[in-house]
Amino acid sequence: MGKINILSQETIDKIAAGEVVERPASVAKELIENSIDAGATAISVEIKGGGIEYLRITDNGVGIEKDQIPVAFLRHSTSKIKDAEDLNNVHSLGFRGEALSSISAVSKVELITKTKDNLLGASYIIEGAKEVSLSDVGAPDGTTFIIRQLFYNTPARKKFLKAESTEGSYVFDVVEHLALSHPEISFKLIINGKEKLMTSGNGSLSDTIYQIYGRQIAANILDISYEDELFSITGYIGLSVIARGNRAFEHFFVNDRYIKSNNLSRACEEGYYGFLMGHQYPFFVLNIDCIDGAVDVNVHPTKQEVRFENESKVCEILTKAINSRLRRREDVVEAKVEE
């Protein structure tokens, strides 16, 4: 095995970066989540070359104070929690303080940010975790991150990226999910100079669904709502006419966080029993809001998995709520036919 080495900070940072930053879409996710946490009401995303060459996120959130900028790029630095106790009731999307340090370890980052209490903004450039410059600059309130040449210093990782168009479509998915989970925020996505997605941010989930998926989908959804003392479920489920051949139309948000869960998916699909043919998957956008402590979001670095205190109960209720809503809809249709 040879001698045991203590790794340099640079190597440690590159290894850690791999857990959070897998591809341009993960950079987009982390930065947009930061914009949401910063109270932005408008977020614009622009990518070129699949987001590998160029990825820009602009928000109108609170901004970062100039003297705080270098701190924000250190590992485990966050303004969102103070101690382990705070982990029990995380109300922000971020809390691990890893994104900025990870992204800056494997790319060239330019940051322009201004808080509303300052007359001037600040410009910061950091490449491969090394600070290049920090200076004053005129800027609007809010924050812009520009990420260039992702993985320029980690060729092994870069090799695993897919075609630019595929990487771009992953970024699209991320923006789509975040827009669905935040109808109160206006999102815009520009890919290679073309506007690909735009939501109004008027707070209405059904309007957001219409703006993302168009008329055919929006005309074939049913609203759903359930509430007990532990959690609530709200959102929209699609009728069988808009079913798909894969799970790409199944969206869960737990306390405003987009998550993936085979168990929850299966529970929802069970709710469609009798309404869908085999190998068809439903459309739905479901918000599951849990009280503090009923769900653990600190399961995985990308935070796309969560652990429910009582998952089987959540599943059971999802199945029932969906099934009874679909039946109610069928009743309405049949009643009309009889008239």
Residues that bind ligand ADP (CB under 6 A): 30, 34-35, 38, 59, 61-64, 72, 77-80, 94-100, 143
- The entry of ligand ADP, Mg ion, none near residue 26 (CB within 5 to 8 angstroms by kind) is none
Least distance in angstroms from the C-beta of 162 to Mg ion: 25
CB of 34 to ligand ADP, least distance (A): 3
Nearest residue (CB) to ligand ADP, 143 versus 199: 143
Distance of alpha carbon 154 from alpha carbon 159, whole angstroms:
9
H or E element in which residue 143 lies: strand 142-148
- Closest CB 257 distance from ligand ADP, rounded Å: 13
Nearer to Mg ion by Cβ, of 255 and 265: the residue is: 255
Residue closest to Mg ion when measured from CB atoms = 94
Which strands make up the sheet holding 54-59, listed edge to edge? Answer: 130-137, 121-127, 108-114, 142-148, 54-59, 42-48, 186-191, 194-198
Shortest distance, CB of residue 145 to ligand ADP, whole angstroms? 7
Number of residues that bind Mg ion (CB under 5 A): 3
Helix, strand, coil percent content, the chain, rounded in steps of 5: 40, 25, 35
69 binds Mg ion (CB under 5 A): no
Encoding tokens for residue 291? 């009280």
Among positions 84-123, residues that touch Mg ion (CB under 5 A) are 94, 99
Residue nearest to ligand ADP (CB): 94
8 A C-beta contact, residue 316 and residue 300: no
Alpha-carbon 109 to chain mean position? 20
Binding residues for Mg ion restricted to 7-36, rule: CB under 5 A? 34
Q: How far apart are CA 287 and CA 299, in angstroms?
A: 19
Binding to Mg ion (CB under 5 A) within 31-60 occurs at 34
Question: Which residues, 6 or more positions from 155, have their beta carbon under 8 angstroms from its beta carbon?
Answer: none
Q: Would you tell me which residues interact with Mg ion (CB under 5 A)?
A: 34, 94, 99
